[in-house]
Structure 1
Amino acid sequence: MKFGVFCTYENPDADFARAYSAQSKLIRRAEALGFDEAWVAEHHFDPDAASPSIFPLIGYLAGVTSRIRLGSAAALLAFRNPIQVAEDVATVDVLSGGRFDFGVAKGGPFALQNKHFDVEEKDSRAMTVEALELIDRLLNEETVSFQGNYYACDHVSIAPRPLQSPVPTYVATATPDAVAYAARRGFGIMGGSPFPIERIVQAVEAYREAGGPEADPRLILARFYFAARTRDKALAQAVPFIHRFSERMQGIFLARGEKGPVFDPSGLIERSLIGSFDEVRDKIAFLQERTGFRSVILKPASLDEDRNLGALDDFAEHIRPFVTQAPERQAAL
């Protein structure tokens, strides 16, 4: 069982420099506390989630850390040139000393991304799959020629070469077809913070159905997190963050003519690792029992950066020792 942090570069004070500094501090604190990994989200044209240039961010983080693994959660391949992505992946893998995990996705329900990158939403999934096929070959073969529906290359060799062979790769999805594709290719899967547990369980089952009963989805499960000595103290910090997130996402869905019930605040809080220390321990044990996750990556859910740092401290002291050293507790749930 591994634990990490999920960084979406939220910007509640409309101060980009401060937002970047806060997330860098969070990752350095996570490394000092012995967390296993840190994942960086990719968002475009959103001042509240200001992380469009994911590979420069991870390259910077590689320089200010030494042990923690760093991942993209997730690179939006339909909006990028796959040859350039392969070069970026190899570069950050070298800069990090082989600590990079490559997560990819087709992009969420954000119309501005498709509009400004001139990509039809109906083509995003097919473009992502084809781009990943080409990137995977470029990372693992010396010279690649490729002809697809969207991308082509002729005798391309990238430099530098990645240190890892292969670079661990994950697909952020719970869609059955995409999960089956990941299983057939041996890629892991990632589940987003708002995903209901039933959807995650179905994705794991679909993975094993496509890849065989022994197939390991290496599930990376993101969850909003804030724990305190009492549930009320945790909610006092988390509720404003969750409401802000929910309002932003509901607005996006309403603009598309959809309700988006998955972003209901009460449902988000219930699915999240929010509550007293005991509650969060029990929730983690429950998630492990139901999904068999490889890693849980925590999205600290406070609008106060110091509170988020303190929440990591509390996790390391009051939660992680109990969930990693007490398998009998999990088995009893």
Structure 2
Amino acid sequence: MTDSLQRYGVFLNVENPGGSAAQALEETMRTGVEAEALGFDDVWVAEHHYSRFAIGSAPGALLGYLAARTSRVRLGTGAALLALNDPVRVAEEVATLDLLSRGRIEFGVARGGPFPVQYRHAGLASPEAARERMHEALALILRLWSEPATCLEGRFYRCDDLSIEPRPLQQPVPVWLASLSADSRRLAAAHGYGLMATPSADLAKVAALLAPERAARGDFPFAIARFFHCESDHRRAVENGLAGVRSYPGLMGVRFTPASMPPMFAPDASDAVILANAVIGDPAHCAARLRLLQEQLGPHRLLLKPAAHDPAQARAALGLFMREVAEAGGQLRVSP
């Protein structure tokens, strides 16, 4: 366990580069279980649909497995795609997970990312419509967790005198918005939610958006996920880490508009641009990145997204990080 001034998490995307879903699920869950033994504080599980590569389509089942196999590490939905799901069912499932894990759930939510097929099958005309539905779904879920009975006549959802069971153990369950849009920033400020930046988010842009939020809200919960790879040999770490990041957009099938394309995912992105937005290198270089993140972002949680698609290589990198980097980056202060 890291000391009280540090907080590190692992960001898991169930990736299936070899074409065996059973093996991909088993390896991802093994990484999550080992993360607790290595001393990580959080394990977050991504949700994706209709992809042959990213097959984490049932985050509740995955988190239930991790809840049963771990005892300390906090477990996050990274993030629950509320616009694609029935919010009443999500409320019941997350409450059940919180009880089974003895109050270890972190509830991250998102609109769905640059994957048009997800919106199409959910009957959503645009990412903006997905965001609006997500915000309404989140408000409904929180009411279902706290009110004796809920009535709602919303734009997307309606319920009349609805009461769900079970209720979460935590009151309240920590909520995170995996978005830095203006709407999400306003919503987070109004309700005390945490904000989360994705692995591909441009660090300079994140820092610029975060500064006024810090000025207005003080030390609020903030997390940033970063592509990560660490090996003792710096050259090999960079070579393997860059290869993983460069292959990722194609494997995931992302569809960014030109205006929303993260610089690190641009087809002509330089090595320097990718490395500036990741934690890749030998232990000394990774520790330096941690210190730079602290200087630019202030208190935060750092969520490491393994760049290596080979699970054994990813676990080795995570182990090396905790043995040799976490202590070297010990000046990192993080939010709750």
TM-score relative to the length of structure 2: 0.91
In 2: Cα distance, 1:77 partner to 1:206 partner: 27
Show the counterpart of 2:62.
Answer: 57
- Write out aligned runs for 1:259-274 (5 A): 260-262=261-263, 263-264=265-266, 265=269, 266=271, 267-274=273-280
RMSD between aligned alpha carbons?
1.9
1:13 aligned to 2:18? yes
Structure 2 counterpart of 1:297, one-letter code: L
1:163 aligned to 2:169? yes
Residues 287 and 293 in structure 1, CA contact (< 8 A), matched pair in contact too = no
| Correspondent of 2:195 among 189, 194, 198 | 189
Size of the alignment, in residue pairs? 322
Show the counterpart of 2:30.
Answer: 25
In 1: Cα distance, 2:186 partner to 2:208 partner: 11
Residues 68 and 99 in structure 1, CA contact (< 8 A), matched pair in contact too = yes
Q: In 2 relative to 1, CA 235–68 (structure 1 residues): closer, same or farther, beyond 3 Å?
A: same
Show the counterpart of 1:285.
Answer: 291
Query: Secondary structure at the residue paired with 1:32?
Result: helix
In 2: Cα distance, 1:181 partner to 1:138 partner: 18
Residues 179 and 189 in structure 1, CA contact (< 8 A), matched pair in contact too = yes
Gaps of 5+ in 1: none
Show the counterpart of 1:145.
Answer: 151
Show the counterpart of 1:74.
Answer: 79
Residues 242 and 269 in structure 1, CA contact (< 8 A), matched pair in contact too = no
In 2: Cα distance, 1:190 partner to 1:118 partner: 26
Show the counterpart of 1:228.
Answer: 231
1:321 aligned to 2:327? yes
1:71 Cα offset (Å): 0.3
1:315 Cα offset (Å): 0.7
Residues 237 and 303 in structure 1, CA contact (< 8 A), matched pair in contact too = no
1:60 Cα offset (Å): 1.5
Partner deviation per Cα, 1:278-317 (whole Å, 9 max, x = no partner): 1110111111121124310111111221111111110111
Which moved further from structure 2: 240-249 or 10-19?
240-249
Residues 38 and 69 in structure 1, CA contact (< 8 A), matched pair in contact too = yes
Q: Which has the higher contact order (CA 8 A, sep 6+)?
A: 2
In 1: Cα distance, 2:289 partner to 2:258 partner: 34
In 1: Cα distance, 2:18 partner to 2:223 partner: 30
1:259 Cα offset (Å): 8.2
1:244 Cα offset (Å): 1.2
Partner deviation per Cα, 1:126-145 (whole Å, 9 max, x = no partner): 11111111111111222211
In 2: Cα distance, 1:193 partner to 1:252 partner: 13
Show the counterpart of 1:253.
Answer: 255
Show the counterpart of 1:295.
Answer: 301
Query: Secondary structure at the residue paired with 1:189?
Result: strand
1:243 Cα offset (Å): 1.8
Structure 2 counterpart of 1:153, one-letter code: C
In 2: Cα distance, 1:54 partner to 1:78 partner: 15
Structure 1 counterpart of 2:76, one-letter code: G
Structure 1 counterpart of 2:313, one-letter code: R
1:84 aligned to 2:85? no
Residues 5 and 39 in structure 1, CA contact (< 8 A), matched pair in contact too = yes
Q: In 2 relative to 1, CA 21–218 (structure 1 residues): closer, same or farther, beyond 3 Å?
A: same
1:53 Cα offset (Å): 1.1
Query: Secondary structure at the residue paired with 2:167?
Result: coil
Query: Secondary structure at the residue paired with 1:165?
Result: coil
Residues 227 and 277 in structure 1, CA contact (< 8 A), matched pair in contact too = yes
Show the counterpart of 1:178.
Answer: 184
Residues 204 and 217 in structure 1, CA contact (< 8 A), matched pair in contact too = no
In 2: Cα distance, 1:247 partner to 1:125 partner: 24
Same amino acid, percent of matched pairs? 35
1:100 aligned to 2:101? no
Q: In 2 relative to 1, CA 259–193 (structure 1 residues): closer, same or farther, beyond 3 Å?
A: closer
1:154 Cα offset (Å): 1.2
In 1: Cα distance, 2:35 partner to 2:262 partner: 32
Residues 242 and 274 in structure 2, CA contact (< 8 A), matched pair in contact too = no
1:198 Cα offset (Å): 1.8
Higher helix share: 1
Show the counterpart of 1:304.
Answer: 310
Structure 2 counterpart of 1:152, one-letter code: R
1:50 Cα offset (Å): 0.7
Residues 240 and 303 in structure 1, CA contact (< 8 A), matched pair in contact too = no
1:242 aligned to 2:242? no
1:120 aligned to 2:121? no
